[in-house]
Amino acid sequence: MERYEIAVIGSGPAGVSAALNAKIRGKSLLLFGSKQLSDKVLRSEKISNYPGLPDISGEELVGRLQKQLVEMEISVTEEAVTSIYPMGNFFTLLAGQKEYEAETVILTGGAGTAARIPGEEKLLGRGVSYCATCDGNLYRGKTIAVVCDTPTMESEAAFLAELAGKVYYLPLMKNSTLSGANVENLHSAVREIQGEERVSGVVLADGTQLAVDGIFFIRNSVPPAVLLRNLKMQENHVAVDRQMHTNVEGFFAAGDCTGRPYQIAKAVGEGNIAAHAAVEYLDSRKNSAGGNYAD
């Protein structure tokens, strides 16, 4: 398997900035994200404080970033990374059923990824799952809730509907529905996940209570601390130092996931710093005696 030098997770302003710099510095690179790069930027009507591009629309900025990536020959890998495992000298990244390897990771997941529903963290791995492929089989014939926030990931919800006995489908997109006799389409937000030892039910925004054996969050991005166990958080954000190092060696973070202000300029700056720090880390490893190189 090809082992990349830098894997950038997220294609918003921080991820694009990190990717540009990794590429310029000649590192082999994976950029995980979506072709539209960033829903949040795309939906911005007018951005007035990004230096050099006054009063630009989010759509135009995304267009410019897409063009810049093409010109720099950086492609976007349209897969959602669901788990990352530190392997000593490198990381293994799981994206659905695919595996990737990278020496360093720059996480730029956005701030929304850190938000949790009451009960979500407590019952994680005990009925709360982020990965249809990984955990779907455990719910064969059972009753589950499926929350989906990304149109391109509806197929994962459909996969779960094939396995489960009963599915409460809770898409965050207005027009998304799932077909199947065992599917109940409900357009409602989840207020709470219930259960002591394991998930026993969910409470919807309107107070409706549903008895379920499990709940899947099919999200474009996964909470950082779920993505990588032992990643140190600070008040719901990834804890980083001034060079965007996290507490895990070789693992960096940038953009909204590291904290306020949630600003494009800040994200772009941090992506730049994180890429430089990753390059420095890679180069220092290569320049060292090489004793810690297992391959």
Q: Which residue has the tokens 């008040």?
A: 235
Q: Which residues within the stretch 261-290 sit at the binding site for a second copy (CB under 8 A)?
A: 261, 263, 265-273, 276
Which of 231, 240, 253, 278: binder of a second copy (CB under 8 A)? 240
By CB atoms closer than 10 A (0-12, 13-18, 19+), residue 199 is buried
Token output for 41? 């930027």
Of 91, 104, 72, 120, the C-alpha closest to 217 is 120
> Is 233 one of the binding residues for a second copy (CB under 8 A)?
no
Rounded CA-CA distance 145/202 in Å is 8
Instruction: Enumerate the β-bridge partners of residue 91.
Output: 86, 102
Candidates 260, 283, 286, 288; binder of a second copy (CB under 8 A) is: 260
The interface mask with a second copy, positions 40-79, x = CB under 8 A, is --------xxxxxxxxx----x--xx-xx--xx-------
Q: Does 29 bind a second copy (CB under 8 A)?
A: no
- For helices 264-287 and 13-24, angle between their N-to-C axes, nearest 10 degrees: 30
- Distance between CA atoms of residues 268 and 184, nearest Å: 42
Minimum distance from residue 53 beta carbon to a second copy (Å): 5
Structure tokens at 195: 């259960």
Q: Minimum CB separation from a second copy for residue 247, in Å?
A: 15
Binding of residue 131 to a second copy (CB under 8 A) = no
Q: Which x/- pattern, by CB under 8 A, does the window 181-220 give for a second copy?
A: ----------------------------------------
Ranges within 90-129 binding a second copy (CB under 8 A) = none
Answer yes or no: are the C-beta atoms of 239 and 168 closer than 8 Å: no
List the one residue out of 285, 266, 233 whose CA is nearest residue 104: 285
Among 9-17, 90-98, 119-127, 200-208, the segment contacting a second copy (CB under 8 A): 9-17
Residues across the chain: 295
**C-beta separation of 220 from 245 below 8 A:** no
Q: What is the C-alpha to C-alpha distance for residues 283 and 13, in angstroms, rounded to an integer? A: 25
- Compute the least distance from the CB of residue 103 to a second copy, in Å: 20
**CB 84, min distance to a second copy, A:** 23
Q: Give me the least distance between CB of 266 and a second copy, in Å please.
A: 5
At its nearest, how many Å lie between a second copy and the CB of residue 16? 5
CA angle 270, 34, 172 (to 5 degrees): 100
* 137 vs 284, beta carbon nearer a second copy: 284
CA–CA separation, 217 vs 222, rounded Å?
A: 9
Number of chain positions touching a second copy (CB under 8 A) = 40
Closest separation in Å from C-beta 168 to a second copy: 40
Q: Kindly list the residues in this chain that would bind a second copy in the complex (CB under 8 A).
A: 13, 16-17, 20-21, 24, 48-56, 61, 64-65, 67-68, 71-72, 240-242, 258-261, 263, 265-273, 276
